[in-house]
Amino acid sequence: MSVVINCATIIGLNCQPIAVEADLSSALNNFIIVGLPDQSVAEARERVRQAVRNSALDWPRRKVIVNLAPADLKKFGSYYDLAMAVAILWCSRAIRINPEDAQAYYLGELSLTGDIKPINGVLSIAKTLAEIGAKKIYLPIANVAEASLINGLEIRGANNLAELVAHLQGKEILPVANGGTAAAQETVSYPVDLSDIRGQAQAKRALVIAAAGNHNLLLTGPPGSGKTMLAKSMISLLPPLTREESLAVTNIYSVAGLLPRKHPLLVAAPWRHPHHTASAISLIGGGSHPAPGEITLAHKGVLFLDELPEFPRTVLENLRQPLEDKVVTIARVFGTYEFPADFILLAAMNPCPCGYLSDPDRRCVCSPGSIIKYRNKISGPLLDRIDLFVEVPRLQFAELVQKDDAEKSSHWREIVSQTRQRQRARQQGLLNYQLTSQQTRQYCQLGKEAQLLLEQAINQLNLSPRSYFRLLKIARTIADLACSEEILTEHLAESLQYRLKNN
């Protein structure tokens, strides 16, 4: 008797349904898995066999053959353990399954004791199964809350194999968690509030502009000037994610194995801060089984690169395409994988190797050649993709001790949220950074005086077409913060202040 049990796996960020076929033959007692399994799947033979025996269930004393279809797709991970156990028990007639449960999907890793352990990527799996018309899914109990974010599924969780078998036999009923259940949300807290930072009015203003329009920002200043603290306050300026954004970010963190089980729905914009020793694969994503990198983990949030010139230039150059396309494509022998990478790039650097170039109180000890070499670690094309350039000077004693009545991040977060709503209402759901060149011409209308100023700026600064459109988008964001429908001269003039200075 041959049987088929439904299962699924994760390929990149997407779900791939898998059919687990089981059959028995009269040959010697053996257990074979076919269908292009990798080592982790092949090792499931021992996990499944011991889990069945330790659950007080009979293992067939015949040759067991399990096929994972489609056979041309490389299988990896422990997604198939539970489905294989159910298929083998059904095939050997150790259990009976009603037609409804025979059409259900079974996912989970089995321990040797029979416990069903959680797996990654359940949100993507549940979403895909609901879209293809699946009705029921059996999962590890720890994954139920995550799967419940999706409508249209009957979700049941089990602690162990014996508990699931008792349910399938009608001896015990597993509770139903209907899709669409409101999951517990994470508690949002911010490490730094904008009001905690003394002085640095221009840098704070640039942070608000960057948050309001999703613009990339580079902070340059000597050691101890507050660049890192300013960068950490950036995340407190971003409004909560929309429902669609929240599910997209939650899906990424689920696949990466970084999703908290107690709070499976992420509502705050992500913040990623990789060290400058990070490799290209850890930053961009990839590997033998392509997984999301830091730029994907920062999707709809902030990627902070501190000490930017200390990153290998080859690593930084990999950012050019994702910064432009907001997606990264990774090609492998077994297929092509696409990961979202729609993030704000926030970077910080010293002005020179010693850090004290142009500092009024400390003398720079760097040679002109070393300064040029240091700055050349960041290529022109990468700099051309950064919208805002801000110098962060070291504060004087009087600035440190004076009382600062700066507004809290919550105040600016509300303004940023209102500004984004204004952009989406005007631009059919798009923020300023998402505008194409044609849309930029349509929505970034300049007054007559502003047009003259822009013409002078283009002639004097030799702006590239990319820089020209980025300049208009920044001016549009500044106008939106001022609740102005038209881009005025002062809005364009302020946007010009944030251009890269050649000094």
The domain limits of the chain are: 3-178, 194-434
pLDDT-wise least confident of 188-197, 299-308, 322-331, 338-347: 188-197
Q: pLDDT at position 403, please?
A: 66
Domain 194-434 top-level CATH class = alpha beta
Mean per-residue pLDDT for 23-32? 88
Tell how far CA 275 is from the center of its chain.
17
In the predicted structure, residue 59 carries a pLDDT above the cut 70: yes
- Average pLDDT, rounded, for the chain: 92
* pLDDT band at residue 27 under the 50/70/90 scheme: confident
* pLDDT band at residue 502 under the 50/70/90 scheme: low
Sequence-ordered list of residues with C-beta below 8 angstroms from that of 189, at least 6 positions apart, any chain: none
DSSP summary character for residue 175: P
* pLDDT band at residue 184 under the 50/70/90 scheme: low
Q: pLDDT at position 416, please?
A: 97
210-to-75, 186, 386 alpha-carbon distances in Å: 42, 25, 11
* pLDDT band at residue 196 under the 50/70/90 scheme: confident
* pLDDT band at residue 186 under the 50/70/90 scheme: low
Higher pLDDT, 231 or 224: 231
DSSP summary character for residue 172: S
Mean per-residue pLDDT for 220-242? 93
pLDDT-wise least confident of 23-37, 89-103, 227-241, 422-436: 23-37
Q: What is the DSSP string of 159-170?
A: SBHHHHHHHHTT
b/e for 356-393, b at 16 or more Cβ within 10 A? bbebeeeebebeeeebeebeeebeeebebbbbbbbbbb
Q: pLDDT at position 465, please?
A: 85
Mean per-residue pLDDT for 99-114? 97
Mean per-residue pLDDT for 471-495? 94
CATH number of 3-178: 3.30.230.10
Higher pLDDT, 111 or 188: 111
Q: Which contiguous run of DSSP H or E holds residue 460?
A: helix 448-461
* pLDDT band at residue 261 under the 50/70/90 scheme: confident
Mean per-residue pLDDT for 216-229? 93
* pLDDT band at residue 135 under the 50/70/90 scheme: very high
Q: pLDDT at position 282, please?
A: 96
Alpha helices in 256-367 (DSSP H): 280-284, 294-297, 313-317, 320-325
Peptide bond into 70 cis (omega under 30): yes
Provide, rounded to the nearest whole percent, the portion of the chain with pLDDT above 90. Answer: 76
Mean per-residue pLDDT for 210-221? 96
In the predicted structure, residue 181 carries a pLDDT above the cut 60: no
Q: Which residue has the tokens 């700026």?
A: 457
Give pLDDT tens digits for 294-304.
999 999 999 99
pLDDT-wise least confident of 132-136, 322-326, 433-437, 461-465: 461-465
Give pLDDT tens digits for 333-386.
778 899 999 999 999 999 999 999 988 888 999 999 999 999 999 999 999 999
Q: pLDDT at position 399, please?
A: 64
Among 371, 211, 256, smallest CA distance to 13 is for 256
CB atoms inside a 10 Å sphere around CB 408: 12
In the predicted structure, residue 178 carries a pLDDT above the cut 60: yes
* pLDDT band at residue 179 under the 50/70/90 scheme: low
Q: Which contiguous run of DSSP H or E holds residue 114?
A: none
b/e for 470-481, b at 16 or more Cβ within 10 A? bbbbbbbbbbbb
The radius of gyration of the chain's CA atoms, rounded to the nearest angstrom, is 28
Q: pLDDT at position 195, please?
A: 85
pLDDT-wise least confident of 111-125, 304-318, 395-409, 477-491: 395-409
Q: By the 8 A CB rule, do 228 and 447 touch?
A: no
Among 265, 292, 286, smallest CA distance to 330 is for 286
In the predicted structure, residue 139 carries a pLDDT above the cut 90: yes
